[in-house]
Amino acid sequence: RSLRIGLIPGDGIGREVIPAGKKILESLPSSLGLSFSFVDLDAGFDCFKRTGAALPDKTVKTLKEECDGALFGAVSSPTTKVAGYSSPIVAMRKSLGLYANVRPCKTVLSPAFASPTKTPIDLVIVRENTEDLYVKEEKTYPDPSDPTGKAQIAEAIKRISSKASWRIADIAGQIALRRDKMRQASGSGTSHTKQGMVTITHKSNVLSQTDGLFRSTAREALSQPHFNALKIEEQIVDKYYDVIVAPNLYGDLLSDGSAALVGSLGLVPSANVGEGIIIGEPCHGSAPDIEGKGVANPIATIRSVGVMLEFMDLPDAAEVIYKAVDASLAEGKLVTPDLGGTATTQQVTDDIIKRL
Amino acid sequence: RSLRIGLIPGDGIGREVIPAGKKILESLPSSLGLSFSFVDLDAGFDCFKRTGAALPDKTVKTLKEECDGALFGAVSSPTTKVAGYSSPIVAMRKSLGLYANVRPCKTVLSPAFASPTKTPIDLVIVRENTEDLYVKEEKTYPDPSDPTGKAQIAEAIKRISSKASWRIADIAGQIALRRDKMRQASGSGTSHTKQGMVTITHKSNVLSQTDGLFRSTAREALSQPHFNALKIEEQIVDKYYDVIVAPNLYGDLLSDGSAALVGSLGLVPSANVGEGIIIGEPCHGSAPDIEGKGVANPIATIRSVGVMLEFMDLPDAAEVIYKAVDASLAEGKLVTPDLGGTATTQQVTDDIIKRL
Ligand SMILES: CC(C)[C@H](C(=O)O)[C@@H](O)C(=O)O
Ligand SMILES: CC(C)[C@H](C(=O)O)[C@@H](O)C(=O)O
């Protein structure tokens, strides 16, 4: 099978980790029968400064017409407002129909660094990717209670549709079934994980209409007969999770929280999934503080390559990558500074490649 | 000094932990020169079923006119929508001008349970308490893209004002200064905590107007000369925090996350602070699963008594309570089931009282 992959490094360390992801694809064992070709694509703040567009039409067109998958790095946010600029990630997710952001968070044991939690974590956040406050409809007006006319009020719309809520719950259910099957097959899993489970996150006690619609629609979607084997729970409390399905914004905040629980944002991958192309994307940002030093952790990107391949129906290729990453961490000789080590992006990438 | 305290147990374990809080106040050493009188007040879902009001006017009136402080327990959310019912907490915060929700999260070391994090945590979340999505302005309409007319769309307003953003940043700055002074006085604090710090949380990369207004106003408020000694940071990344100031909803989600990092929601206190009365409130909910068993962890409430007293300008009384709680946990013989023990609410309360 021959696959064409778009590479969108973006800004900052995006330019250091996306090449690592590319190398991993090029180094996959030939027994998998996969061959890859690549196309470099432009997006981000630097692109905006050069071309006037944060997400050039050509990038979207190439992704749509030519690519099976893509890897997206990160984009910088200017520290002060820049007229006309807005992060291209949100626009890209919407324009390509990438309605789900899938974020697996898993504890790895490594002699190099202590797991921040006592109990290992192994969960997937399935984040709705197109609506909620990310519709970005805002307005600002003078605060009528302020006679000086200086005080302001700003409003944003949070929009939740039953359509988007249904399809995100549906894909979360499918992911939970698949995880369950894999646990059964591998004989892993504890008493907790005997059964696949989806936890629906919402604040319908406060937002009865918007989050209420998300909750009731997700419940309905997950009560379809083919999800009978799954346990369906609600809300986020302090206990065991398997798959968490969340509206866009809660999903964003939850995954930052879960990243802290596995040790570093530099470890957490994601994939944007929808009707066509799959885009892998590390959960970290452009990290201007370490940009250009060659020490960005490539693992979030390398794992994102795995998640991308999983959703391209290539679970075996994904598994090869995950195992190589785990083996490298389990040895723990080469880890980047975010995990307390001194290795470079390149050294970690090479160490993983030799284990593929 | 003679103080009148309103007691609003609400529903579920609220009825088991608020009496513990009352006992603590009654048992404070007489050397502090404080005397307390109490008034029982009604609110919650059960109150709604009995009286038709989740927050009776009499409760608000008594709090406003008679009370110096109050303790609020928890309220249940019905699992299905009940016409006319909505959580009274949000209404109470607004009607009493309680514009700040202050949530200290601190790791305690106890032989009874392992700290979930390797690095101890000691931070305060200062959450705006009156606006954001909590204005609860919602509407629902048919999805125009669905010809069958079944699909729906719901919208909610997120509203941020410069007034509310200023005053929440201002109180966060004051709290950071006070924490700094206490660290200096006690000689505690690490190299990290040499300086007081406020981290401003926002997503202005996505919500440039609403979160943009929060961010710029908070920056302005915190650049007042009397905050010169503080370090001001932005965003939530994976590192050290002192005081975090956040819009209402992010503050809610962040404090759930931080609670997981200190071991149990049963340990995390809060106080609602504004222009008049101070209301202490444990961060946990009504916990229907353990209701009536007498095993709810009283520590979140007992610490909330401490936070309430702190904001009533009684830091010495607060300190007596915090120390007694810490001593009980440090011995670790009596802890409730959420922390892996078998002690009852009453046993833990009595153990803390004997250390006051
Ligand atoms: C950069 C930003 C727009 C983005 C988001 O909020 O979705 C990021 O935080 C993420 O999690 O992918
Ligand atoms: C019960 C609910 C309305 C409340 C909130 O969202 O503020 C609770 O979660 C809290 O954190 O105090």
Q: Is there a domain that residue A184 lies in?
A: yes
pLDDT tens for B197-236 read 999 999 988 899 999 999 999 999 999 999 999 999 987 5
Same domain, B191 and B96: no
- Among B75, B79, B26, residue whose Cα is nearest residue B54: B75
pLDDT band at A190 (very low <50, low <70, confident <90, very high): low
Q: Is there a domain that residue A110 lies in?
A: no
Identity of the residue numbered B327: A
- The pLDDT value recorded for residue B239 is 61
For residue A12, the ligand closest to its alpha carbon is 1
Same domain, B92 and B179: no
Q: How far apart are the first and last CA of chain A?
A: 19
Q: Is there a domain that residue A106 lies in?
A: no
Confirm if A24 and A349 have CB atoms less than 8 A apart.
yes
Chain B interface includes A235 (CB < 8 A): no
Q: Please name the residue of chain A whose CA is at the shortest distance from the CA of residue B255.
A: A257
Mean pLDDT for chain B overall: 92
Same domain, A144 and A234: yes
Same domain, A130 and A145: yes
Q: Is there a domain that residue B276 lies in?
A: yes
pLDDT tens for A232-288 read 998 755 467 899 999 999 998 888 777 777 778 889 999 999 988 999 999 988 998
Chain B interface includes A90 (CB < 8 A): yes
pLDDT greater than 70 at residue B93: yes
Contact A162 B152 (CB under 8 A): yes
Q: Is there a domain that residue A108 lies in?
A: no
- Among A103, A107, A98, A108, residue whose Cα is nearest residue A125: A103
Same domain, B235 and B295: no
Among B231, B262, B293, residue at a domain's last position: B262
Same domain, A152 and A220: yes
Length of chain B, please? 356
Distance from CA of A163 to the nearest CA of B (A): 7
Contact B116 A114 (CB under 8 A): no
Confirm if B102 and B278 have CB atoms less than 8 A apart.
no
pLDDT greater than 90 at residue B347: yes
Q: What is the CATH number of the domain that holds A85?
A: 3.40.718.10
Q: Is the CB of B89 under 6 A from ligand 2?
A: yes
Contacts of B138 in chain A (CB under 8 A): 207-210
Same domain, B272 and B258: no
Contact B162 A151 (CB under 8 A): yes
CB nearest A155 (choices: B117, B157, B249)? B157
pLDDT tens for A37-65 read 999 999 999 999 999 999 999 999 999 99
Among A226, A243, A262, residue at a domain's last position: A262
Q: Is there a domain that residue B341 lies in?
A: yes
For residue A202, the ligand closest to its alpha carbon is 2
Cα separation values, A272 from A8, A172, A305, B239, B346, Å: 14, 13, 11, 27, 50
Range of the domain at A135: 116-262
Among B262, B293, B325, residue at a domain's last position: B262
Same domain, A197 and A281: no
Q: What would the mean pLDDT of B138-154 be, rounded to a whole number? A: 96
From A132-136, A293-297, B119-123, the region with the lowest mean pLDDT: B119-123
pLDDT tens for B245-288 read 999 999 988 888 777 777 788 899 999 999 889 999 999 889 98
Same domain, A243 and A147: yes
- The pLDDT value recorded for residue B257 is 77
Same domain, B337 and B348: yes
Chain A interface includes B157 (CB < 8 A): yes
Contact A238 B253 (CB under 8 A): no
Total count of domains within chain B: 2
pLDDT tens for B300-335 read 999 999 999 999 999 999 999 999 999 999 999 999
E-state strands within A221-269: 231-234, 243-246
Q: Is the CB of B90 under 6 A from ligand 2?
A: yes
User: Measured between alpha carbons, how far is A348 from A267 in angstroms, rounded to an integer?
Assistant: 12
Same domain, B232 and B289: no
- The pLDDT value recorded for residue B40 is 98
Q: How many contacts does A have with B, using Cβ atoms within 8 A?
A: 160
Identity of the residue numbered B344: T
pLDDT greater than 60 at residue B192: no
Q: Is there a domain that residue B58 lies in?
A: yes
- The pLDDT value recorded for residue B235 is 73
| φ/ψ (deg, to 5) at A111 | -65, -15
Contact B238 A260 (CB under 8 A): yes
- The pLDDT value recorded for residue A81 is 72
- The pLDDT value recorded for residue B237 is 52
Same domain, B281 and B230: no
- The pLDDT value recorded for residue B241 is 83
Q: What would the mean pLDDT of A316-340 be, rounded to a whole number? A: 94
Q: Is there a domain that residue B86 lies in?
A: yes
- The pLDDT value recorded for residue A115 is 74
What 3 state SS string does B157-192 have? EEEEEHHHHHHHHHHHHHHHHHHHHHHHHHCCCCCH
User: Measured between alpha carbons, how far is B137 from B331 in angstroms, rounded to an integer?
Assistant: 48
User: Measured between alpha carbons, how far is A117 from A188 in angstroms, rounded to an integer?
Assistant: 20
pLDDT tens for B148-167 read 989 999 999 999 999 999 99
